[in-house]
């Protein structure tokens, strides 16, 4: 899900990805758009997807990859 966020920062422009997935709890399909500002638009009435960014202290981050911080 980090693709529009990371790629948008690298390219210096706003990007949007459309995500088609299903609820891990009930299996109901859902679709939402996620942009490079981590703003999402829910395209599936009745669903409430949760989008979050992990809390990472970037000033103290010393791992070889951002993946290691998550």
How do residues 1-41 score in pLDDT, each as one tens digit?
Answer: 567 878 888 888 999 999 899 988 889 999 999 888 888 89
Q: Is the dihedral of CA 55, 56, 58, 60 positive or negative?
A: positive
34 and 19 in contact (C-beta within 8 Å)? yes
Q: Is the dihedral of CA 63, 37, 6, 42 positive or negative?
A: positive
What pTM value is reported for the model?
0.62
Q: Is the pLDDT of residue 46 over 80?
A: yes
């Amino acid at each position: 899900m980090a693709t529009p966020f990371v790629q948008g920062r690298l390219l210096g422009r706003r990007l949007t990805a459309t995500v088609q997935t299903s609820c891990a709890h009930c299996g109901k399909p859902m679709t939402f758009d996620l942009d490079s500002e981590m703003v999402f638009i829910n395209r599936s009435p009745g669903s409430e997807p949760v989008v979050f960014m992990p809390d990472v202290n970037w000033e103290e981050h010393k791992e070889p990859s951002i993946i290691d911080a998550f």
